[in-house]
Amino acid sequence: MAEPERPVPAGDSPLRSLWTYTRGHRRAVLWASACSVLNKVFDLAPPFLIGMAVDVVVRREGSLIGEWFGVHDLMAQLWLLAGLNVVIWGAESVFEYLYQVAWRNLAQTIQHEARLDGYAHVQELELAYFEDRSTGGLLAILNDDINQLERFLDHGANSMLQLGTTVLAVGATFFIVAPDVATLAVLPVPVILWGSFRYQRSLEPRYAAVRERVSELNTALANNLAGITTIKAFTAEAREVERLDGVSRRYVEANAEAIRLSSAFVPMIRMAILVGFGATLVLGGHKVFANELEVGSYSLLVFLTQRLLWPLTRLGETFDQYQRAMASTRRVLGLLRTPAAIVSGPERLPAVRGELHFDGVDFAYGDARERGPMVLTKLELRVPATQTHAVVGSTGSGKSTLVKLLLRLYDPTEGAVRLDGVDLRELALEDLRGSIGLVSQDVYLFSGTIYENIAYGRPGAARAEVLDAARLADVDSFAARLPKGYDTLVGERGQKLSGGQRQRISIARAILRDPALLVLDEATSAVDNETEAAIQRSLAEVSRGRSTLVIAHRLSTVRHAHCIHVLDGGHIVEQGRHEELLALDGIYARLWRVQTGEREAA
Ligand SMILES: Nc1ncnc2c1ncn2[C@@H]1O[C@H](COP(=O)(O)OP(=O)(O)OP(=O)(O)O)[C@@H](O)[C@H]1O
């Protein structure tokens, strides 16, 4: 359907949107977060043990640990500390393992879902959406951006949580043990945080620019690889390398800006940290001399300052990851939020008769903001069920546009297209498209075998049915001669086959579908006269008993149609049987004379 399965909030904060998007995995997120926090808590414990060890050595029987546990033997105190050490390091390792597994599995699940949701949603979007965008850009979102999100969940989320835990745990200890030392030691923290957030804000647009450049690069590469034949034919290799050089350079430059800014961060922050560390060292030492602070507590504070302030130098890197991930999240969720303009209607048609009616249709490409010229105006065309009708007209007159409206790839600007009397906008897309067998001008084959490409028309069809369809479409004549027969691989986009062979496969695919309405848009334009005659005979047989709309340039292929409609200037100007149209001596008669080689009367 048009809406993504997981509704995405329209809020501005990408983190909040991500949180909402992953609401199905709350438990996993909380578990992973808890493991991260506990791992950090145990990781911070050793400085306390060091403080206690110093305390034992200095205060001996009167040490803190001696008092807490009632152990006065010095060696027993040390053994106790050693035992605690084992427990703490063990717990740290266990939680490290657990958080790694939890975050990485979560990252896998979410990237998998986001990619599938993204792809499924893109499939629902109307053709006009794709015409305005590049394939490379969409690929960048579905691949690179989702990978970026995966990396953030792999490492970034954990880094942020552990940093938060460190700041809170160490800050609290400082204030409990020596509040006045703490004030000085923690003094640089607001400066660091303020600086980080300033950085964060100025990094954001730079990373957005990097993402844009990636998408440009992808587009250029995808276009060039798809057009490699043209590039070779026009010996444009050097020119293309030069063009790619330009695009790739812009990517490098965009990155250079981001690199310059993010690299300056750590050295600057280090200076601020120096202040806190120096303050603890000097002020704490002074308090020990004045007997206002225990030696053990002093050791604890000096070590803890290190544990607090050094991780802050990684704040830049963490924000860096965060920024990249959020830029990607915004693009991925933005894609999921794109509403589909063409949505399925409510009405179901279990048995389609195949009566088609273009009812006063106006159509222009583009959207309300930017409409192109009118292609169809007040177009009236009826195809009664089971009849074969043809549409002919000069190139660019709008024949293929009729087919696109019929498939509901676009909606009419005015008027309606009706199938069995139902406005297509009211009809379930599944029923509409499921009842149409299309053979179009540009055949698209998927990489796979000939057999698989035909069977695509109706998944679950029996082998005998597939082979029957293949025989009717004259695929047999060439497939039988290939060493692997129907199991021959057709190559990417079917490029290992000739145009005529591809066309015959696509006809077989449509026949297999056994549709109520067969649509042939220049179905035999790529085959020679002999093959065309063979296919025409098959098609005549196949179209018996079902509505067929044929679009053709070669009038000889449609002369037996029940009715031929001549499209000109956006509407039907002549219609009737072949003989009637010849007698009318209008556009059709003129075209016929040109095509059959008769000289036009002067
Ligand atoms: N996606 C599109 N966006 C904008 N304009 C389009 C689009 N597709 C077709 N057109 C324009 O609409 C007009 C009708 O095109 P259409 O493909 O329907 O013609 P046609 O009669 O099938 O031509 P041909 O016989 O050459 O296949 C043309 O002027 C074409 O330039």
Cβ-Cβ contacts under 8 Å for 6 (sequence gap 6 or more) = 21, 23, 24, 113, 117, 336
CB 540 within 8 A of CB 550: no
* First-to-final CA distance of the chain: 58
Atom of ligand 1 nearest to the CA of 567: 21
CB 517 within 8 A of CB 547: yes
**What's the pLDDT score for residue 316?**
66
**What's the pLDDT score for residue 12?**
67
Centre of ligand 1 from the C-alpha of residue 398, in Å = 6
349-434+551-602 adopts what CATH topology? Rossmann fold (3.40.50)
- Alpha carbon nearest to ligand 1 atom 5, residue: 365
372 CB within 6 A, ligand 1: yes
Dist CA 375 CA 57 (whole Å):
93
Centre of ligand 1 from the C-alpha of residue 131, in Å = 13
**What's the pLDDT score for residue 6?**
45
- 347 by Cβ neighbours in 10 Å (0-12 / 13-18 / 19+) ranks as middle
Instruction: Spell out where 260-397 has E strands.
Output: 356-366, 371-383, 388-393
Helix axes 179-186, 295-313, angle to 10 degrees: 20
CB 110 within 8 A of CB 329: no
The DSSP H or E segment spanning 574 is strand 571-576
Dist CA 54 CA 60 (whole Å):
9
Centre of ligand 1 from the C-alpha of residue 382, in Å = 21
Cβ-Cβ contacts under 8 Å for 130 (sequence gap 6 or more) = 138
- Alpha carbon nearest to ligand 1 atom 2, residue: 365
Q: Which of 348, 363, 453 is nearest to 403 (CA)?
A: 363
Atom of ligand 1 nearest to the CA of 522: 27
Distances (CA, A) of 135 to 119, 221, 226, 445: 12, 10, 11, 18
Distances (CA, A) of 120 to 3, 56, 339, 347: 10, 65, 13, 23
400 CB within 6 A, ligand 1: yes
Low-confidence ranges of the chain (pLDDT < 50): 1-10, 599-602
Q: Which of 227, 220, 226, 223 is nearest to 245 (CA)?
A: 220
Distances (CA, A) of 82 to 52, 208, 482: 11, 51, 77
Centre of ligand 1 from the C-alpha of residue 571, in Å = 14
Listed in order, the ranges of the chain carrying CATH 3.40.50.300 are: 349-434+551-602
Length of the chain equals: 602
373 CB within 6 A, ligand 1: no
Average pLDDT, the chain: 85
375 CB within 6 A, ligand 1: yes
Centre of ligand 1 from the C-alpha of residue 380, in Å = 18
569 CB within 6 A, ligand 1: no
How is residue 329 written in tokens?
Answer: 């999240």
Q: Which of 336, 345, 396 is nearest to 122 (CA)?
A: 336
483 CB within 6 A, ligand 1: no
* Residue 454 C-beta-side C-alpha neighbours within 13 Å: 32
Atom of ligand 1 nearest to the CA of 131: 1
Using one digit for the tens of pLDDT, what is the confidence trace for 229-261?
888 888 889 999 999 999 999 999 988 988 888
Centre of ligand 1 from the C-alpha of residue 397, in Å = 7
Atom of ligand 1 nearest to the CA of 393: 21
Dist CA 165 CA 45 (whole Å):
12
600 CB within 6 A, ligand 1: no
Centre of ligand 1 from the C-alpha of residue 62, in Å = 93
Distances (CA, A) of 102 to 21, 36, 284, 400, 405: 18, 9, 40, 52, 49
Dist CA 67 CA 50 (whole Å):
17
- What sign has the CA pseudo-torsion 183, 184, 187, 188? negative
Atom of ligand 1 nearest to the CA of 128: 1
401 CB within 6 A, ligand 1: yes
329 CB within 6 A, ligand 1: no
Query: What number of other Cβ atoms are within 10 A of residue 451's Cβ?
Result: 21
Dist CA 346 CA 348 (whole Å):
7
Dist CA 243 CA 472 (whole Å):
47
SS3 label, residue 255: helix
**What's the pLDDT score for residue 412?**
92
397 CB within 6 A, ligand 1: yes
506 CB within 6 A, ligand 1: no
Strand partners, 316: none
Q: What is the DSSP letter of 190?
A: H
Instruction: Spell out where 198-249 has E strands.
Output: none
Strand partners, 363: 376
Centre of ligand 1 from the C-alpha of residue 488, in Å = 34
- To test the pocket of ligand 1, the residue of 365, 410, 521 to mutate (highest count of ligand atoms within 8 Å of its CB) is 365
- Alpha carbon nearest to ligand 1 atom 4, residue: 365
Centre of ligand 1 from the C-alpha of residue 330, in Å = 35
Centre of ligand 1 from the C-alpha of residue 475, in Å = 30
Residue identified by tokens 């106006």 is 362
SS3 label, residue 560: coil
Centre of ligand 1 from the C-alpha of residue 357, in Å = 21
Cβ-Cβ contacts under 8 Å for 66 (sequence gap 6 or more) = 56, 72, 77
Q: Which of 422, 421, 432, 419 is nearest to 342 (CA)?
A: 432
The DSSP H or E segment spanning 417 is strand 414-419
14-337 adopts what CATH topology? ABC transporter transmembrane region fold (1.20.1560)
Listed in order, the ranges of the chain carrying CATH 1.20.1560.10 are: 14-337
Is this prediction's pTM over 0.80? no
- Alpha carbon nearest to ligand 1 atom 10, residue: 365
CB 505 within 8 A of CB 453: yes
- Alpha carbon nearest to ligand 1 atom 28, residue: 396
- 425 by Cβ neighbours in 10 Å (0-12 / 13-18 / 19+) ranks as middle
Using one digit for the tens of pLDDT, what is the confidence trace for 286-322?
988 998 888 888 888 888 887 777 777 677 667 777 8
**What's the pLDDT score for residue 1?**
34
Centre of ligand 1 from the C-alpha of residue 413, in Å = 16
Query: What number of other Cβ atoms are within 10 A of residue 115's Cβ?
Result: 19
Dist CA 189 CA 293 (whole Å):
23
